[in-house]
Amino acid sequence: MTNSQKLRFFSHLIKLGFKEIEVSYPAASESDFNFVQDLINNGDIPDDVWIQVLTPARSDLIRKTFESLKGAKHAIVHMYNATSCLFREVVFNADQKETIRLATTHTQLVRELAEEYASKVSKPVFSNIAPLVSILLASLVTQYGTNFRFEYSPETFSQTEPAYAVEVCEAVKKAWLSGPGSTWGDGRKEERIIFNLPATVEVSTPNCFADQVEYFATHISEREKVIISLHTHNDRGCAVAASELGILAGADRIEGTVLGNGERTGNVDLVTLALNLYSQGIPPHLDFSDMFSVIDTVTECTGLPVHPRHPYAGELVFTAFSGSHQDAIKKGFEALHKRQATGDIHWELPYLPIDPADVGCTYEAVIRVNSQSGKGGIAYIVKQAQSLDLPRRMQIAFYKVVQSISEATGRELSVQDITDALRKEYHVGGSQFDGRIVLRSYNLTDSVTDGTATPADPESGPDRQRTLTAKVLVDGVVRQISGTGNGPLSAFLNALNSGLGIDLAVREYSEHAIGGGSDVKAASYVEVIPPNADSKDKTQGGFWGIGVDPDITGSGLRAVLSAANNAIGKTELKGAAFENDEKKLNGMQQ
Ligand SMILES: CC(=O)SCCNC(=O)CCNC(=O)[C@H](O)C(C)(C)COP(=O)(O)OP(=O)(O)OC[C@H]1O[C@@H](n2cnc3c(N)ncnc32)[C@H](O)[C@@H]1OP(=O)(O)O
Ligand SMILES: CC(C)C(=O)C(=O)O
């Protein structure tokens, strides 16, 4: 990363709420060194944030590291040396004692430098110098006034003999806490020594790592003076589990990266850790409510993409393709909305561990349709996109339509594909989707009262009989048809039968409002059956239709016509041809 990318990343980490941020390995290069100095000198570090810097146990590099911290308010100096048998033998050619000596002598150096850089009073070294020079030097030292904390990592901890890892850290603690003039370790929280226990390479199951952490936590002396930190890598893909079990085993702190970048398979992902807590109702005190900005920052700074299935952040992680998942999610949302109406806002929804909205996602991607999707998911999309709440049996009918398209095309269907399929199938949503018969206008009048009623007709009543005259386009030709019934739907069915020879009866009808206020519309759903079909045996094929209209009667009539269009298919329609002369029909209701 360039220094400006690092600054962008750092600022984003601050925004997310991190309070301890390892910013650099200052001794590695001038640019790493300068980055730390720039942060300090440009006032980019909030007062409540501790920057952390990494150094190996080498005196030249430790000195350089301290220099980079000149002027910092709070700094954690993080020193490491590997302690495992393999590294002792192969990399350092050192036995156990020499490895301890490497750690302790450099810890002493860190302590001395920390005391020097933290100093707020002139030191005895200046007493032999001329007073003016002494004051000048004293003010140079005084101006740092840095609060230091010390972190020590027995690198390769998880491959180190557990008792030996404790032995190394005991020696380091002693060197840190009991040096001459040491003011550290008086029990104040910010001065506790941090022992950071790395799974430098993840080599075991998470429970094994947790056992090692537990051993360390229960064997290190003066536990109250120690913060136990974890630093897990993901070589076996278990860094999250290892960190979580490590915390349960007694650790206090975790080091990781945002979205899990780092050497090889990366460091543990802090987004996953934080949101795992969040999903259990535990506030992580990190703000991931705008996950897209996190992804943008990480990908633009590192040049590395985020996997579509990355926990909580990937583009597919709140998406269900499978039918049974979609059905459960649809039902879950319905139950949630009912609960929310009673003031119960807790999140509990099948297949969605957290509310996608909490990380800045919309619900649009929650359900996506392919050939394995079912009626519930498709109905969910129809409701989301078109505010149409299809009745259950109609969902099944439309599902078959969508599935055949999906199988024929062999691809995922978009919301637009499904919207178009519904419009085409049920002749709604514009003249381009019209069926063979189109309702142009109608006129409804009360006529004879004979006391009969058709239960399937919503506007029927025991004392009403209606006459409906409608102007319809049939295969492009204007026709006028007329019929009677105890409600508008039965009158219309009667007109279709007498005028065009389409003999159908209503088996199921439902309706609901769309929108509210002056824009409110009615949506009606009708299933019609031919006269020979058993109206009670609902497995016998009916034909469904949808009607949407500002007027409830209009929506019902349109739904009947939509269903009738499906029922007639390409059958030739009977009845006398009517004049194709609209002027003669001017008297009718438009
Ligand atoms: C586990 C981790 O991931 S820790 C983070 C590691 N990150 C980095 O290494 C990035 C920054 N590192 C660098 O820029 C360089 O390695 C530097 C500047 C630190 C050192 O560079 P060089 O002096 O050229 O040494 P180089 O890296 O080749 O070799 C490392 C030397 O340090 C020794 N060493 C390695 N780690 C440590 C350590 N933690 N403490 C003390 N000595 C160490 C090695 O044994 C080796 O010594 P040798 O030359 O006597 O054999
Ligand atoms: C320096 C240590 C903590 C490290 O990076 C590791 O062991 O992975």
Report ipTM for this prediction: 0.96
Give the model's pLDDT for residue 575.
63
Question: In the prediction, which pLDDT does 32 show?
Answer: 98
Residue nearest to atom 2 of ligand 2 (CA): 155
Q: Is ligand 1 within 6 A of the CB of residue 363? A: no
Residue 461's pLDDT is: 52
- The rounded distance, in Å, linking the Cα atoms of 81 and 105 is 12
Nearest CA to ligand 2 atom 7: 200
Residue 196: CB within 6 Å of ligand 2?
A: yes
Q: Which ligand is nearest to the CA of 231?
A: 2
Nearest atom, ligand 2, residue 54 CA = 1
Taking the C-alpha atoms of residue 535 and residue 542, their distance in angstroms, rounded to an integer, is: 9
570 backbone φψ class: left, alpha, beta (φ>0; ψ -120 to 50): alpha
CA dist., res. 93 & res. 87, Å (int):
8
3-state secondary structure (DSSP) of residue 134 = helix
Angstrom distance (rounded) from CA 23 to CA 45: 11
- Kindly state if the Cβ of 55 falls inside 6 Å of ligand 2: no
**pTM score of the predicted model:** 0.81
Q: Three-class SS of residue 402?
A: helix
Q: Is 57 in the pocket of ligand 1 (CB under 6 A)?
A: yes
- Does residue 350 line the site of ligand 1, with CB under 6 A? no
Atom of ligand 1 nearest to the CA of 92: 45
Q: How far from 567 is each of 441, 506, 526, CA to CA, in Å? A: 21, 12, 12
pLDDT of 446 reads 83
**Element (H or E) spanning 332, and its range?**
helix 323-341
Among 63, 84, 92, 235, say which to mutate for ligand 1: greatest number of ligand atoms within 8 Å of CB. 92
Tokens 């226990």 locate to: 197
pLDDT value at residue 45: 98
Give the pLDDT score at 91. 98
Q: What is the pLDDT of residue 363?
A: 83
Structure confidence by residue, pLDDT tens digits, 291-324: 999 999 999 999 999 999 999 999 999 999 999 9
Atom from ligand 2 closest to the CA of residue 157: 7
Quick check: CB of 200 below 6 Å from ligand 1?
A: yes
The predicted structure's pLDDT at residue 576: 46
Protein residue with least CA distance to atom 5, ligand 2: 200
For ligand 1, whether the C-beta of 99 sits within 6 Å is: no
Report the atom number in ligand 1 closest to the C-alpha of 54.
5
- β-bridge partners, 249: none
Residues of the chain with pLDDT under 70: 120-143, 179-190, 447-463, 535, 538-539, 575-590
Pairing assessment for the beta strands 437-446 and 466-474 based on DSSP bridges: antiparallel
Contacts of 544 (CB under 8 A, 6+ apart): 394, 397, 398, 426, 525, 526, 527, 562, 563, 566
CB within 8 A of 67, min separation 6: which ones?
Answer: 26, 33
Pairing type for strands 505-514 and 74-82 reads unpaired
Angle between the 415-426 and 375-386 helix axes, to the nearest 10 degrees? 90
Ligand 2 lined by 200 (C-beta under 6 Å) = yes
Most ligand 2 atoms within 8 A of CB, residue of 52, 76, 155 to mutate: 155
Residue of 1, 23, 24, 25 with the most ligand 1 atoms within 8 Å of its CB, for mutation:
25
Q: Measured between alpha carbons, how far is 115 from 302 in angstroms, rounded to an integer?
A: 36
Best of 58, 109, 156, 264 for a ligand 1 pocket test (most atoms within 8 Å of beta carbon): 58
With a 6 Å cutoff on the Cβ, whether 74 touches ligand 2 is no
Does 538 contact ligand 1 (Cβ within 6 A)?
Answer: no
- Ligand 1 pocket residue status of 53, Cβ below 6 Å: no
Nearest ligand 1 atom to alpha carbon 155 = 1
Q: Which ligand is the nearest neighbour of the Cα of 239?
A: 2
The residues, ordered by sequence, that sit 6+ positions from 1 with a Cβ below 8 Å of its Cβ are 9, 301, 302
Q: Is 32 in the pocket of ligand 1 (CB under 6 A)?
A: no
Distance 254 CA to ligand 2 centre (A): 12
Which residue's alpha carbon is nearest to atom 35 within ligand 1?
A: 56
Give the Å distance between the CA of 200 and the centre of ligand 2.
6
- In angstroms, the CA 584 to CA 580 distance is 9
The strand order across the sheet containing 477-485 reads: 437-446, 466-474, 477-485
d(CA 239, CA 198): 11
The C-alpha atoms of residue 75 and residue 51 are separated, in whole angstroms, by: 5
Minimum CA distance residue for ligand 2 atom 6: 200
Residue 357 dihedral angles phi and psi, to the nearest 5°: -65, -25
* Nearest protein CA to atom 1 of ligand 2, as residue: 80
Strand ranges of the sheet holding 74-82, from the earlier edge strand across to the other edge: 20-24, 50-56, 74-82, 147-155, 193-199, 226-232, 253-255
pLDDT digits (tens, 9 = 90+) for 63-105: 999 999 999 999 999 999 999 999 999 999 999 999 999 999 9
C-alpha dihedral over 529, 531, 534, 535, to 10 degrees? 50
| Ligand closest in space to the Cα of 56 | 1
Supply the DSSP string of 336-393, one letter for each residue. HHHHHHTT------TT-SS-GGGGT--SGGGB-BSTT--HHHHHHHHHHHH-----HH
Which class for 322: exposed (0-12), middle (13-18), buried (19 or more C-beta within 10 A)?
Answer: middle
> Ligand 1 in contact with 278 (CB < 6 A)?
no
| C-beta of 153 in contact with ligand 2 (< 6 A) | yes
Residue 231 Cβ < 6 Å to ligand 2: yes
Q: CA 66 from chain center: how many Å? A: 41
